[in-house]
């Protein structure tokens, strides 16, 4: 103990503070050296997996140091959760973000000037306000803590442009010490964090990535039914679990299927009302064997120690995101399972999401033209998407780009009334739910059939004696059954262009958008590599995060010890169906799909028909032979030396991926020779 105290000079004070402020008797592994580094005044980078106790690494120093600690955090829900936990311990902490009313924000700023807080949580966007930056600069920040620091890096799986400005913020505030923390950062991301935050020779702590109690499993599934069966099997083993889906629609479908199978499942995604999300989270936290079906909006700040499994129904966008999410399982140290339900079609879904997040120049131009046509656009993202022929996802991404570049501003939330029209079905409808029956009776008593009438949600709630949430839900059910037509009030934010110039004269850095898209595609490929790896999955992850000495065999993943999941009953065949009149050729369906997609994209780039690159027969020959070098590539009919030089390396990459997935090369049949008919003289 004496040697430990000498090597960590602030350990004794830290231990006393740990007991006094947090009621804990000892540090978790890795916390003491980090806290000692921060207290000594050294800039520090901390990479610890989810559940290892990163928050304490800045919260405890904040209470032992004089002055205020400024915490940069990306999510409003996470700030709120941490501040509530600190307040419950009697610690003076608060947050300032867009969820506060003007009165609440003014009150907290007044208390901040009076130095009544020890910790202040803000989102990076807050530093856009010159007055706020001036205020905190005048207070003298003792410690700047940057949470979720991977958001700084374009290599990070959750890049946030406002995080990239924190180096200049740090330069302005001049805190004596800065600590950057993240659960998942590759060596590339760590280098970016140090560079962007303008740190000189920081102490770097990267440890604890191995979670030996987590069994890593990947199960190939052919479609939604197999996914749902697999998740029901996991839930049947008992304990709490989280099932992550890539889209809201997928989450809703999975939740419905599990409820039908009598699983105690709750649904959580960003499209739900705030109250509904809060209830779902509370139900999950309080129930012993609840299963949360969610998008990646769920989980930040969730600290339920007895989660027995985390399943990904669709492939995540990056290894960092995946490892952060599975880290929510087994925090009590008992055995837990992380299962990826894999179908290569999900990779295409993620690629489409990446494309939508980085809209094309044409979409940006069309949106800008619509914003130029009006003084203020107040019809919502849905209407704007319809006007430019793009998805709401693409339009939202484009608006964020324009806002980040300072080309537009958003107004406050819109208000309005519901437009309700009772249809001819209303008089004879017999809804099952009591709340829906009550709402329909009230509507029939109040509104004429066939004519639109307007009303507000609170009025309907008072008339029916239901809560606003119940009214909203019942109204949705009546709308789905065709009993009413509903025009919802505009609840978005108005949009106003700040410049009146054509798009071609607008200075928007499109190269940065395209580079970010390229990096996101690369990270997705690395995640697919994890799914296809023929070797130890734990070693793959540990080496990914820079642990070069990871053991080659762990004994706790499906590659080392076999899968713990039952094989899906309807596994898809890897061979092609027979085609009448054509020779039957067994080939890798995965390689065929990838080769076709690559050929299509390349043909578009080169502005040539796809068959100019390879015809269909040659493509199937490549998918069968799975060549890995020049010799095996040239053995496939229809290739040739010039095609090897131009396309060979990409074809080999695709074939290596298919082989890694367990697909075996086949001998492609020789094409039958067609004999020319002799002509009679």
Question: pLDDT by residue (tens digit) across 187-199?
Answer: 888 899 999 999 9
Which of 163, 186, 206 lies at the terminal end of a domain, its last residue? 206
| 355 and 454 co-located in one domain | no
Q: Determine, yes or no, domain membership for 12.
A: yes
Q: What is the pLDDT of residues 634-667, one digit of tens each?
A: 988 888 877 887 888 899 989 998 888 888 887 6
DSSP 116: -
pLDDT at 492: 61
Q: What is the pLDDT of residues 293-350, one digit of tens each?
A: 998 877 655 678 899 999 999 999 899 889 989 988 998 889 999 999 998 878 877 8
The residue-averaged pLDDT of 454-467 equals 85
255 near 294, Cβ under 8 Å? Answer: no
Q: Determine, yes or no, domain membership for 76.
A: yes
Say if residue 127's pLDDT is above 80.
yes
Say if residue 59's pLDDT is above 90.
yes
pLDDT at 668: 52
Say if residue 570's pLDDT is above 70.
no
Say if residue 1's pLDDT is above 90.
no
pLDDT at 568: 66
Domain span at residue 449 reads 418-487
Say if residue 25's pLDDT is above 60.
yes
503: CATH: 1.10.10.10
Closest to 169 (Cα-Cα) out of 202, 146, 148: 146
Q: Please give the Cα distance from 234 to 219 (Å, whole number).
A: 12
Say if residue 600's pLDDT is above 50.
yes
Closest to 46 (Cα-Cα) out of 175, 142, 185: 185
Which of 156, 180, 206 lies at the terminal end of a domain, its last residue? 206
pLDDT at 270: 78
| 43 and 114 co-located in one domain | yes
230: CATH: 3.40.50.300
Q: How many distinct structural domains can be found in the chain? A: 5
| 422 and 313 co-located in one domain | no
Complete DSSP assignment for 164-200: GGHHHHHHHH--SEEEEEES---HHHHHHHHHHTT-S
406 vs 335 pLDDT, higher one: 335
| 387 and 458 co-located in one domain | no
| 252 and 201 co-located in one domain | no
The residue-averaged pLDDT of 386-415 equals 82
Complete DSSP assignment for 10-71: THHHHHHHHHHHH--SSPPTTHHHHHHHHHTT--EEEE--TTS-TTHHHHHHHHHSSSEEEE
Percentage of the residues of the chain whose pLDDT score is greater than 90: 40
| 19 and 157 co-located in one domain | yes
145 near 179, Cβ under 8 Å? Answer: yes
pLDDT at 443: 92
Q: Determine, yes or no, domain membership for 263.
A: yes
Beta strands in 111-261 (DSSP E): 119-122, 141-146, 177-182, 203-206, 214-220, 240-244
Counts for the chain of helices (H) and strands (E), in that order: 28, 18
pTM for the model stands at 0.65
Residues in the chain: 681
Q: Please give the Cα distance from 294 to 77 (Å, whole number).
A: 15
Q: Determine, yes or no, domain membership for 322.
A: yes
Q: Determine, yes or no, domain membership for 593.
A: yes
* Measured torsion, CA atoms of residues 154, 158, 164, 170, in degrees rounded to the nearest 10: -130
Q: Please give the Cα distance from 536 to 652 (Å, whole number).
A: 23
Helix, strand, coil shares of the chain as percentages rounded to 5?
A: 50, 15, 40
Q: Which two tokens stand for residue 595?
A: 């080769």
Q: Please give the Cα distance from 488 to 474 (Å, whole number).
A: 14
The residue-averaged pLDDT of 614-626 equals 89
| Contacts of residue 36, Cβ cutoff 8 Å, sequence gap at least 6 | 8, 9, 10, 11, 14
Q: Determine, yes or no, domain membership for 568.
A: no
Which of 206, 223, 252 lies at the terminal end of a domain, its last residue? 206
444: CATH: 1.10.10
pLDDT at 351: 83
| 133 and 10 co-located in one domain | yes
| 450 and 543 co-located in one domain | no
310 vs 272 pLDDT, higher one: 310
Q: Which range is most confident: 209-223, 490-504, 577-591?
A: 209-223
| Contacts of residue 635, Cβ cutoff 8 Å, sequence gap at least 6 | 625, 627
470 vs 70 pLDDT, higher one: 70
Judged by average pLDDT, the poorest of 138-152, 405-419, 548-562, 569-583 is 569-583
Say if residue 673's pLDDT is above 50.
no
Judged by average pLDDT, the poorest of 79-83, 189-193, 579-583, 670-674 is 579-583
256 vs 582 pLDDT, higher one: 256
CA 30 vs CA 46, 131, 291: distances in Å: 10, 38, 31
| 306 and 399 co-located in one domain | no
Rounded to 5 degrees, what are φ and ψ at 346?
-65, -30
| 323 and 246 co-located in one domain | yes
Mark out the alpha helices in 553-637 (DSSP H runs).
558-561, 589-606, 610-613, 616-625, 630-634
Q: Determine, yes or no, domain membership for 525.
A: no
| Average per-residue pLDDT for the chain | 85
Q: Determine, yes or no, domain membership for 301.
A: yes
Say if residue 5's pLDDT is above 80.
no
Q: What is the pLDDT of residues 153-166, one digit of tens each?
A: 877 666 777 888 89
| 541 and 661 co-located in one domain | no
| 221 and 297 co-located in one domain | yes
pLDDT at 522: 87
421 near 399, Cβ under 8 Å? Answer: no
The residue-averaged pLDDT of 589-596 equals 88
Q: Which two tokens stand for residue 280?
A: 């779902």
Q: Please give the Cα distance from 423 to 15 (Å, whole number).
A: 69
pLDDT at 658: 87
């Amino acid at each position: 103990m004496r040697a430990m105290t000498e090597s960590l000079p602030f350990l004794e004070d830290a231990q006393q503070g740990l007991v006094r402020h947090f009621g804990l008797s000892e540090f978790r592994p890795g916390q003491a050296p980090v806290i000692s580094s921060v207290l000594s005044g050294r800039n520090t980078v901390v990479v610890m997996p989810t559940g290892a106790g990163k928050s304490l690494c800045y919260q405890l120093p904040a209470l032992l140091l004089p002055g205020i600690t400024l915490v940069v955090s990306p999510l409003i829900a996470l700030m709120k959760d941490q501040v509530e936990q600190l307040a419950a311990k009697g610690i003076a902490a608060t947050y300032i973000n867009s969820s506060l009313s003007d009165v609440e924000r003014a009150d907290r700023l007044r208390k901040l000037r009076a130095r009544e807080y020890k910790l202040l949580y803000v989102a990076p966007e807050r530093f856009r306000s010159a007055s706020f930056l001036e205020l905190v600069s005048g207070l003298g920040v003792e410690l700047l803590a940057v949470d979720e620091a991977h958001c700084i890096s374009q290599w990070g799986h959750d890049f946030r442009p406002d995080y990239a400005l924190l180096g200049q913020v740090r330069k302005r505030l001049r805190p004596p010490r800065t600590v950057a923390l993240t659960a998942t950062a590759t060596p590339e991301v760590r280098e970016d964090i140090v560079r962007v935050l303008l740190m000189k020779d920081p102490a770097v702590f990267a440890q604890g990535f191995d979670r030996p109690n987590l069994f890593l499993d990947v199960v190939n599934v052919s479609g939604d039914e197999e996914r749902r069966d697999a998740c029901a099997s996991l839930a049947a083993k008992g304990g709490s679990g989280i099932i992550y889906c890539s889209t809201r629609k997928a989450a809703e479908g999975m939740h419905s299927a599990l409820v039908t199978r009598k699983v105690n499942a709750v649904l959580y995604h960003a499209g739900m009302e705030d109250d509904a999300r809060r209830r779902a989270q509370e139900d999950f936290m309080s129930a012993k064997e609840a299963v949360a079906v969610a998008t990646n909006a769920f989980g930040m700040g969730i600290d339920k120690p007895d989660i027995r499994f985390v399943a990904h129904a669709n492939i995540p966008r990056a290894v960092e995101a995946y490892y952060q999410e599975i880290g929510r399982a087994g925090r009590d140290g008992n055995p837990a399972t992380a299962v990826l339900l894999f179908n290569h079609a999900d990779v295409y879904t993620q690629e489409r999401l990446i494309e939508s997040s980085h809209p094309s120049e044409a979409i940006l131009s069309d949106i800008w033209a619509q914003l130029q046509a009006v003084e203020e656009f107040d019809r919502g993202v849905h209407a704007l998407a319809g006007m430019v022929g793009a998805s709401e996802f693409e339009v939202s991404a484009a608006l964020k780009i324009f806002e980040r570049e300072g080309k537009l501003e958003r107004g406050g939330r819109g208000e309005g009334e519901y437009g309700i029209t009772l249809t001819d079905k209303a008089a004879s409808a017999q809804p099952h739910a009591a709340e829906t029956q009550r709402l329909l009776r009230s509507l029939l008593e109040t509104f004429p059939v066939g004519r639109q009438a307007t009303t507000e949600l609170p009025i309907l709630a008072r008339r029916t004696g239901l809560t606003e949430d119940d009214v909203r839900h019942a109204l949705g059910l009546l709308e789905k059954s065709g009993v009413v037509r509903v025009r919802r009030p505009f609840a978005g934010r108005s949009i106003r262009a700040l410049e009146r110039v054509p798009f071609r004269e607008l200075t928007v850095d499109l190269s940065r958008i395209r580079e970010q898209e390229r990096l996101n595609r690369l990270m997705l490929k690395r995640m697919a590599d994890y799914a296809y790896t023929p070797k130890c999955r734990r070693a793959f992850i540990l080496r990914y995060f820079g642990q070069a000495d990871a053991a080659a065999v762990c004994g706790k993943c499906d590659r080392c010890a076999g899968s713990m999941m039952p094989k899906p009953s309807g596994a898809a065949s890897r061979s092609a169906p027979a085609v009448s009149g054509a020779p039957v050729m067994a080939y890798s369906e995965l390689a065929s799909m990838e080769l076709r997609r690559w050929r299509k994209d390349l043909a578009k780039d080169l502005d040539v028909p796809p068959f100019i690159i390879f015809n269909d027969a040659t493509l199937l020959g490549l998918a069968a032979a799975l060549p890995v070098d020049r010799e095996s590539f040239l053995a496939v009919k229809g290739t040739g030396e010039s095609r090897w030089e131009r396309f060979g390396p990409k074809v080999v990459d695709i074939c290596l991926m298919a082989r890694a997935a367990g697909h075996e090369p086949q001998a492609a049949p020789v094409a039958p020779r067609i004999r020319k008919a002799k002509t009679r003289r």
